[in-house]
Every structure is written in C-alpha cells, then in structure tokens.
C-alpha cells in the first residue's frame, strides 16, 4: 500500500475535462461543460466532429453547473447565481453567434426553468419569485425577445406539472400535516384532485404526461412500502401498476423523447438495475450492456430518437461517453470526463448490507486503499485508519460508483465508508420515515452501527476513525463529536448546522411554503415542545462535550445553512477554550463550486486528517493559490497552514 503513488489532489478536485454531455434535439450537435480559462463553461461541437468543440458561454466566475438545450436547437439555456447565494438567473446562449441573453434580469430573485416543449420551441416556462420571495409565479418567456407572459400568479403551490403544450395541468401544495395536495383545473377553477399522506410525501412524486396528455406517470408509495411506477388515466381515474420492486423505490425513468411514455425504470438497492418496459428499446439496452465495462446511463436523446448519448459509470475510473446510433446499432467512443484518471491505481467500492441495532438493514459502501487487501476478500490485511462520510439531505442516499472523496482518501491510506442511515431515500417509505424526529437519535445510532460494523469486520482501527461530511453530513460530524465524543478521533464539518432552531428560523423565504417538511420530520420550532426537541438534538447544546479536533468550513453566502451556524459553534468553542480550525470562503454558498476553493479545502482537510489519523499527506504547497480561503480561527490546528498562508 505504501508503494502506491500519491495521486495529486488536483486530479480529484480540479475541473473535469468534460461533464454533462448531451446531444441537441435535432441531433446535429453535442454539448458539454468544460473549462474555459479555468472556469466551467458550455462547449458545443458538430455531432460528427466532437474534436471541433468551442465554448459558447464566457462565465469568468464560479462556472456553469447546469445547462439544457432549448428545442430550437440553436439555444443553450443555463442558470447562474452570484457567489453561491442561489439567486439564480436564467440565460440563453446562441450557439451560432455566441450572444447571451439574460431572460430573468432581476437581483435577489431565485429563477427556475419550469418547462420546455418541442411543440413550443421558441418559448419556455420560468418560475420567478420577484413579486413575493416566498412564492414562484409562472411565466412563458420568449427566447428571442425575452418577453414574459404571466401564466399563474401563485400563492399556494410548491411545484407544477406542465404538459408538452406548456399548459399548466396540475400543481402541488404542501398541507399543514406534512402531506401533499395535488390540484388541477376543473371547469375553470382549481380543485384538489388527490391527496398524499405525510408518510408518502417523500416517496410519491408526479413524473409527467404521455403524449396524449391523458395519462400521468407517478412514483407512488400509497398503499405499499416501496414507491412503484404507476400510470393514472385522468379521464377514467384508472391506475395501472407498471413496475415495482420489494426492496427499492422506483427511481430514474427513461421516457420517449416525443411520445413521452416510460420505456424503462431503474431500481437501486445496492446497485442500480433497469426494468425495460417498452420492447422497442429492449435490443438497444441489451446491446449497450456489452459495449464496455460499467453501468450504462442514457443521458440524452435526439428528437428522432436515432442518437443517444450514453455514459458508462465505474467505481475505479472516469466516466466514458459514447454516441450510440440506433439505426446502425453502433456506439462510438467520444471521450472520458477526466483523462488524468486513466491508468491510476484507483480502488474498488464494496457494497454491503449491515443490520442496525433495531433490525433495519443499512446499505453501506466502503473503499479500501489499493494493496491493503492481499487476498481480495474485501477485508484489509490489518485494521486501517478510516474516514466515515455521512451523506447530505438527510433525504438523499449514497450510491455505488466513482466517489472522488473515497478515491482521494483511499489513496492516502484510509478505509472509507458511507452508510445509508434511516431517512435515506430509495429504500421504501418505512425506512425513510423511520428517521423522522431522529436527527440526533436513531439516525446517529445507524451511523454508529455502520462504523462499529467496520471495526468488527477488521476494516477499521477503532482508535483512528474520523467523520467528515457536508450539509446534513456536516451536522452528523458535529453531532458525532458531541453525542459520541470518544468514538471519532476528529471531525471535518462542511456547511453543517449547529443549532436546529436557528437553522429552521433562517431558511430561504422560498422554502417557507415547504416548512411542514421540516416541522413534521425534524421538529417544530414554532411550538414549545418542538423547540425543546430541536435544542436537545442540536450539537451547539453540547459543545462542551467536544474533546476531539474539529475543522469547520463555511461558505459566507450560504442561503440554506447560514454562516451563523458555523460562527456560533466556533464562538462557543473559543469561549470554552476548545481548539477549532475555521475555514471561511467569502465567495461560496452551500458547498464549494470554484475548483480553487475545493482544492484548497482538500489540502486543509488532508493535513488535518493526517495529523489525527496518521495517513499519507501531500504538502499543502501552492494548493491555496487562487482560492478565497480565509481562516478566522485556528490556522495552527492544521499542520503547514500557517506557513502556507504566509502568516
């Protein structure tokens, strides 16, 4: 293991060569995200000449992280905020002229792309909260003129279902009990059409209409545990079960680009598995399984359905992109997302199912350093220092595949484990709902059960286990060091809330219509009983229990977990003489977008973990260059940081 070359951090934390590769609706062009002067921008190339790619946007700040084709075939739509404040603007870029238009020229407004349609290629639906910060009104926006036409002035709904004619067909409202009401227009008025109980709220979601506009597809857990794929006939009310799995919720769906019917659906327990529902693509899916190693993902399709953009995902290498011609039934290799990963000594990711103390099954993924498992049985030759990475959300999940943090830390000599604890999604509503009101209770117990399993298996050295995560994973870090103060050797918290009362009191205004999602699952800050629970589950309440080193990172513009969440626990630790290192980024929000900032924080975290766990460390060197890093407190707690800062 010690002979494994040290892979430079920039390989993991720098910009990808290409990402989010798609094909235009007319099938004539490819697009992707790639660096332009070190900043991610949208590039376009003729389908037949991908090497002739050229940038069509010129963002010079945080980089573009999401784009989509308009159905004109000549316009790229993308969103951008300022410094991570999540006040998004919607832009259009003409791929021929390079001209960029701001379709939502408003400060302090969180614009959203609502819908596009090949029947109305010159227009899109945009949601704007410019009238009232809490509510998004719907507008049709002309891509050429920028003219906006009001579709709906909204003071009730949190989501909308729009058909291929850009007509508003249904809307979703959160109810006071934490459930959902689905509304639709009837005889010129809006009326409640269906109700979704609180227990099904996170596992029941509309997907969209078929071409006829009469059939609505949904993921639906009502009357069952795992969410099934169903089709509802709006004329007759009949509901048809299309696909289901006893262990996993219906997940990603593959729909025909113009007919819009569901052709395949994925279910993911340990690994993602596809059920093909439409015989018309059965031969295509079978062919793609044999093209190369990895799990095939169809990321984009031309309108005539001749060309598919296919990404192959593996756990120990880059994403490989192929252009598949259905007419010829042939797939041509395009490029990978990170060429520097080719040929490196990367590690495999192992899935396992671990029983929690109360009998729930927890799907976990762990990675071992290359060379540490000489007999290949998934257990290292000796227990290793380990980093536990809890995922964010908590209503999300960890999955099998390439995980940059796993690979980086495994290369440094650590075992790495990720645990799908209760509240994680994808495993049925009973599993998800078992985490309600358990943020510092059974959720933390599940995390501990995953860590203790790794210790019992001989994977982890019990004296050298760290916890590191972002958002809810950051909360888990702070909670781990306060509720289980002797278990972890150290913790790394990225934008994690420390006080659940102040977290809920300062959510963005456009989250306010969804407040019952939090009050019925985390705790109700509006009641005395709820505030008592939130205080009891807040790491800040027990700050004096912290006895292990802690590194905290925060984006100053974070609209979800405000800077105050990190400030207050740092201040409380200082008041008690408890050492803490605090990295603050003035141009970031909820997580870090600029690669210079990601690289700088990885350098800090690596040095910090090396001090605590004894893993291999690449010197900080010039990895702080170009970042906005400030260290208000505790630079001396990170080896080499004072020198790197020139202090």
Residues marked as catalytic:
471, 558, 590
d(CA 262, CA 241): 12
Q: Within 10 Å of residue 244's Cβ, how many Cβ atoms?
A: 20
Distances (CA, A) of 398 to 245, 319, 389, 421, 488: 19, 18, 10, 10, 21
d(CA 76, CA 446): 44
d(CA 205, CA 226): 13
Q: Which of 513, 514, 531 is nearest to 523 (CA)?
A: 531
Distances (CA, A) of 27 to 66, 337, 420: 20, 21, 39
Note whether 421 and 439 are within 8 A (CB): no
- In 133-188, DSSP assigns E strands to 135-142, 148-152, 159-162, 168-174, 180-186
The set of residues, in sequence order, having a beta carbon less than 8 Å from that of 32 and lying 6+ positions away, is 18, 19, 20, 21, 22, 42, 43, 53
213: number of CA atoms within 13 Å, CB side? 9
Q: Which of 402, 256, 238, 423 is nearest to 320 (CA)?
A: 402
The set of residues, in sequence order, having a beta carbon less than 8 Å from that of 371 and lying 6+ positions away, is 1, 3, 4, 345
- In 234-346, DSSP assigns E strands to 239-243, 250-255, 262-268, 272-276, 295-301, 307-313, 320-325, 330-336
- Count the residues in the chain: 647
Note whether 297 and 291 are within 8 A (CB): no
Q: Could you tell me the end-to-end alpha-carbon distance of the chain, in angstroms, rounded to an integer? A: 35
**Tokens 């809490």 sit on residue:** 134
Report residue 490 as tokens: 């150290």
Q: Within 10 Å of residue 54's Cβ, how many Cβ atoms?
A: 10
The set of residues, in sequence order, having a beta carbon less than 8 Å from that of 363 and lying 6+ positions away, is 269, 270, 351, 352, 353, 354, 398, 420, 427
Q: Within 10 Å of residue 313's Cβ, how many Cβ atoms?
A: 19
Note whether 334 and 312 are within 8 A (CB): no
| Main-chain phi, psi angles of 357, to 5 degrees | -65, -25
């Amino acid at each position: 293991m010690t002979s494994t070359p040290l892979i430079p951090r920039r390989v993991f934390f720098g910009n990808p060569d290409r990402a989010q590769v798609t094909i235009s609706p007319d099938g004539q062009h490819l697009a992707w995200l790639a660096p332009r002067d070190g900043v991610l921008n949208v590039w376009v190339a003729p389908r037949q000449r991908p090497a002739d790619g050229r940038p069509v946007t010129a963002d010079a700040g945080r980089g573009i992280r999401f784009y989509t084709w308009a159905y004109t075939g000549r316009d790229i739509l993308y969103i951008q905020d300022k410094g991570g404040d999540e006040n998004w603007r919607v832009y259009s870029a003409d791929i021929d002229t390079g001209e960029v238009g701001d379709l939502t020229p408003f400060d302090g407004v969180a614009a959203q792309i609502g819908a596009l349609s090949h029947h109305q290629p010159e227009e899109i639906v945009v949601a704007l909260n410019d009238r009232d910060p809490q509510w998004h009104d719907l507008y049709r926006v002309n891509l050429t003129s920028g003219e906006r036409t009001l579709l709906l002035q909204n003071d009730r709904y949190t989501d909308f279902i729009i058909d291929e004619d850009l007509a508003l067909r249904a809307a979703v409202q959160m109810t006071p009990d934490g459930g959902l009401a689905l509304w639709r227009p009837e005889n010129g008025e809006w009326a409640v059409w269906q109700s979704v109980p609180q227990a099904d709220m996170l596992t029941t979601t509309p997907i969209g209409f078929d071409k006829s506009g009469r059939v609505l597809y949904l993921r639906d857990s009502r009357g069952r545990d795992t969410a099934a794929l169903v089709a509802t006939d709006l004329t007759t009310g009949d509901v048809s079960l299309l696909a289901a799995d006893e262990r996993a919720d219906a997940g990603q769906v593959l729909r025909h680009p113009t007919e819009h019917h569901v052709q395949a659906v994925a279910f993911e327990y340990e690994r993602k598995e596809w059920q093909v529902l439409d015989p018309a693509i059965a031969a295509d899916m079978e062919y793609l399984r044999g093209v190369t190693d990895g799990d095939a993902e169809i990321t984009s399709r031309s309108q005539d359905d001749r060309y598919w953009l296919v990404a192959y995902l593996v756990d120990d290498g880059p994403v490989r992109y192929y252009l598949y011609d259905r007419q010829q039934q042939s797939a041509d290799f395009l490029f990978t997302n990170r060429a520097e990963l080719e040929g490196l000594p990367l590690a495999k990711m192992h899935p396992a199912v671990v029983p929690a103390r109360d009998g729930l099954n927890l799907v976990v993924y762990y990675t071992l350093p290359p060379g540490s498992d000489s007999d290949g049985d998934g257990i290292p030759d000796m227990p290793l220092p380990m980093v536990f990475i809890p995922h964010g959300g908590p209503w999300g999940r960890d999955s099998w595949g390439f995980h940059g943090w796993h690979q980086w830390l495994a290369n440094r000599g650590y075992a790495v484990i990720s645990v799908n604890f209760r509240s994680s999604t994808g495993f049925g509503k009973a599993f998800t709902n078992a985490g309600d009101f358990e943020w510092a209770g059974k959720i933390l117990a599940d995390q501990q059960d995953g860590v203790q399993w790794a210790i019992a298996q001989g994977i982890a050295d019990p004296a050298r286990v760290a916890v590191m995560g972002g958002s809810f994973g950051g909360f888990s870090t702070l909670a781990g060091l306060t509720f289980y103060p002797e278990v972890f050797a150290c913790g790394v918290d990225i934008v994690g809330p420390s006080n659940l009362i102040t977290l809920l009191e300062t959510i963005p205004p456009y989250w306010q219509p969804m407040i019952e999602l939090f009050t019925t699952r985390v705790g109700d800050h509006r009641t005395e009983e709820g505030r008592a629970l939130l205080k009891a589950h807040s790491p800040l309440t027990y700050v004096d229990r912290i006895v292990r080193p802690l590194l905290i990172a925060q984006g100053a513009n974070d609209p979800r977990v405000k800077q105050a969440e990190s400030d207050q626990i740092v201040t409380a630790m200082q008041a008690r003489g408890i050492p803490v290192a605090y990295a603050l980024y003035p141009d970031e929000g909820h997580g870090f977008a600029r690669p210079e900032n990601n690289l700088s924080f990885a350098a800090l975290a690596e040095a910090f973990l090396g001090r605590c766990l004894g893993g291999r460390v690449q010197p900080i060197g010039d990895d702080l260059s170009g970042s906005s890093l400030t260290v208000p407190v505790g630079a001396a707690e990170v080896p080499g940081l004072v020198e790197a800062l020139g202090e």
